[in-house]
Structure formats: structure tokens, C-alpha cells
Structure 1
Amino acid sequence: MSGLFPHREHTDPWFRIGRLEVTTTMFVVLAVTAAIIPWVITGAGWTALTYYNPASLARAEVWRLFSWPFAEGLSNTLWSVINLFMLWYFGTSLESQIGRKPMAGLLIAIWASLTASYSVAALLFGTGASLVGIGMVQFLLLLVWIGEYPHARFLFNIPAWVFGAVILGVQLLVMLAYSQWASLVAVLLSLGFVAIAARRAGLLREQSWIPGQPRTPRRPKKQRVPRAQAKAAERRVSDQERMDALLDQINEKGLHSLTPAQRKELKALSDRRRQG
């Protein structure tokens, strides 16, 4: 089980709510959770208002392009909670590696890839499946995590890449069995777009066959030291070197070996050192 939980570095949040650090992943989880409130009030009415089907564009219902990740509510309570947990867990793991801004870009890319792919598939086949809830976003994010940590261990010590291959294969086989060609094409297109986006975000570096140049982390800017501070530091180093030379002379030849000028210099160096 320990292989399922790779070491995480601290990720700077966008802001805090009390002691809760709101990172990019946490913000999305909170937004989806907040969308449960109107679902509880209106029931299926909320889902009917917010889900996305490419045919809805013909009715100028443009808001559905953006609202579908929040459409599910608790229509399937167990899977809704599992999806949120997996989104939080695997999203936080990836965000700790690439940072909050690239993570925001990756999540937006997943949303855009799914929306565009399902729309294109509907145009190709004359019909299309609907997008409802955060489940597909979580599914693609999980596959990105598996691509990043293919040898991590899941339950029963199963390698992550085996688990990913099985769940993706089952989903594709179900689509084939029921001749869901539009959904099949949409998922395959989404996988390609998301893989490129993940690589550009700084993930999947070992998968060199994926197009896209990995993002290189920015080098931290060197802080400019004020000129006065730099000169003071140089003077302290110079003073220390000169004092060491005089003390070495005293150790070797005694205090009487110092000339009056050297004694005066040693006193001045000592005074400057005490003053900092």
C-alpha cells in the first residue's frame, strides 16, 4: 500500500480558509461540493439545467459548456463521494509535483479536451453522449497519475499501470459492445489531448513518444544585494583577513613585534568588529 502514497512536497495554497489550505485541487473539490446544495434543493432539476450534450448548443444553451462538471450532485451517492475523494487525492499528488498554476492549467485542459472531443464526436456521428459531473475529469486525472507513477502499487500489490490498463480497457470494451462509437472516439481524443497537456505541464517526462515539450521549472531569480550591503560584507571579510594576519604575527613573535601603527590598526579592527 505504501507505493500508492508517494512522498508529497508542500504546495503553496492560493489562500486559506481558517486552517484549510485551498490549493487548485482543493478549490475544485470545494466548488463541486458546493454544487451539491442546489442539487439537494432542486433534485433532478439541477442536473437537467447543467449537464452538457452537444445538441444543447443548437438551443444556444452555452452555459452547459462550463456547468457540466457540477451537474451530478449526489445522484449516485457512493460514486459521487468516491469521485471527489479520488480527485482530491490524485490531484493533490500531482499538484505537489508541478505547482498550483500548472495544475490549474491541466484541469482546464482536461475540461476543454472532454468538451471539445464530445462535441467533435457528435458532429462526426450525428449523435453524442452527455457529460454529467466530475467523474470523467477524475478518470482522466487518475490516468495521468498512473502515467506519472506507473510502478506504484494499488490494492493487492497490483502495479498502477496494470490497474490503469484494466479500467481503461473495460470502459472501451463496453463502448464497443454497445456500439457507442461517438463516446469511444470522444474518449480516445480526450486521452490524446490530455496526455499532451500533462506533458506540457511538466508531467509524463519519461513518455518521450508523447508530443509536446515538457515545461522546465523556472530558475529562481537571484536577489540583488544592495551596493552598501555588499561593500560592508567585503569590508568585513577584508577586516577579518587583516586581523588574522596581525594575530598570527602576535602568536609567532609576541605582542612586542607589532609596530605602533599595527597596534593602532588592530584596535580599529577590533572596534569595527564589535560594532558589527
Structure 2
Amino acid sequence: MRLLEQWLAHSALLRSFTGPGRRRNLWLAQSNPGRFTVVTGSGARAAVQRWTVRHGVLAQDGRPLKIHRSRIRTTHLAMRDKAGWTGSGRAAIDPNHTPAVEGDHYLTATTEAQRQAVEAIIEDAQHDMLRRAHPPTVITGEDAAVLAAGYPQLVAAMDLDDSAIAELVGGQRDVFTAACGDQLSGLHGPKGKPCPARPWVCLLCPLAVFAPRHAANLLRLKAFFSRQWQQMPAAQFMAVFGPYATRIQQVLDRFEPAVLAAAARHVEDQDHELPLQPEEMTA
């Protein structure tokens, strides 16, 4: 609309020299510079092409840009039905724009809030990739001293004191799948609130510490993945549970076979063994 308003204002002087029959035409042009013979149709199209050559308006291929005047005032849905926009099958938002201009105008975040939202999405994706690459933290004993001596980087990253380490190893900080370094850290929810993540999300959380006492729940979760695999399409399963199914096997591989064998005796392979939502139940 702004483009059309600018054109009407720009062509007002020229329009005043036309007759009543042509004055209502949207696109007007002079047949020759300096003369007031106003033409429409093919003559106007030729005048537009001469204007593009005179002003050096070029397309990406270096040739004069072909301006589709009728398409400027049509909608995107109407233009989508036309096969020969720019000589290619590329679906453009506006055929008078190059892909670079379309990206700048329609795909680039222009406001500060939009840029912050895009940056937050990128940061979340990067953090998710780092969490997937981070090896699982599996402890083989129940002694806090062993944890402090064997995992100094973990203790430093979580900023744990002696009492917190004792709670972490002793089971006071247990969730379903692991022991959580800090449920109020806000990794998967608002800071200061209990973590709302589902049980399998702990498998990729950097705050999760897996101990032998979690083996039974890990096996229950693995059986849940197996049931989901049987009832979901493969692509959907990989999108929803794929990373967690891979990580749970990495965690279980670090447990002693005797621990897993003892824990397997307590696994019934039923949904009621897990804290599931109704929509997460398997058939």
C-alpha cells in the first residue's frame, strides 16, 4: 500500500496531462522524454524497462531487472498460481525481490525483542547439543568422599558443598531416573521452581548423577522406550525419544552386570512403574 501511495503521488503531475479516459489508469508513462504523450499497455512496459536500464537496476545475473508491475499490486496467494514468475520454479514471497532482499525484509529479526528471541533459540539449541555430547555421570559407590575425589569437575560445576554432596549421594536429591544436583536451577523451567522435566529428560541433563540404586528405574525407562518403539513410527520415535534412548544405554553400560541383573528382577515392563501422563501411556 505504501508503494502504491508513493507511485500515485509521484505520477500525479503526469496524470494531470492525460484525458479523463486514461486518468484512472494506474500505470502511466511518457512515450518519449520531454513529450507529454501518455501511453499505457506495451508502451508503458517498454518505458519501465528503459527506466531500469537508465538507472542501472540489475538482477542477480547482472542483467536489467524485469519489473512485474501487475504483480506488485496482487497478493501472494494470487501470484502463487502463476507459473512464470521469474523464469524459475522458486517460490518467492515477492517476485520483484531477490532472495537476499527477501531474507533481509521478511526473515531477519528487525526489533531488539525479535533478535533476543532468535538468540535464545540458538543458545538453547547449542546447549542441547553440548548436553548430548557430555558423558553421563555414573558413580559406582555410595560414599560422598569417593564422589568428591573422583568427580572434582562435577562438584565444581554444580557448586556443591559437603552437605549437598552427602544429599546427592545418599538419595535425598533423587528423582525418578537419577540424583539431581539442583532441582531449582531452572535448566528446564523457571529458576527457583522445581524442575518440570519428564523422567527421560534427566538422561541428558548435566545435573543428573546416576548411581546403582537408579538401575531399576533406568531399566523401567528402557522398557518404556521399547514399548514406544513398537507403537510409534520410527521417524517420530527418533524425534521424540531417540537421543534419550541412546543415552540410557550409555548409562547402563557403565553399571556392573551384577547390579543390572539384580535390578532387572524388579522390572515388570508395565506403564504403572513410571510416573507417566495419560497421553504417554503405551497400549
Q: TM over 0.5, yes or no?
A: no
Greater helix content: 1
Give the structure with higher Rg (CA). Answer: 2
TM range (shorter): under 0.3
Task: State TM-score, norm by structure 1.
Answer: 0.25
Task: State TM-score, norm by structure 2.
Answer: 0.24
Structure showing greater relative contact order (alpha-carbon pairs closer than 8 Å, 6 or more residues apart): 1
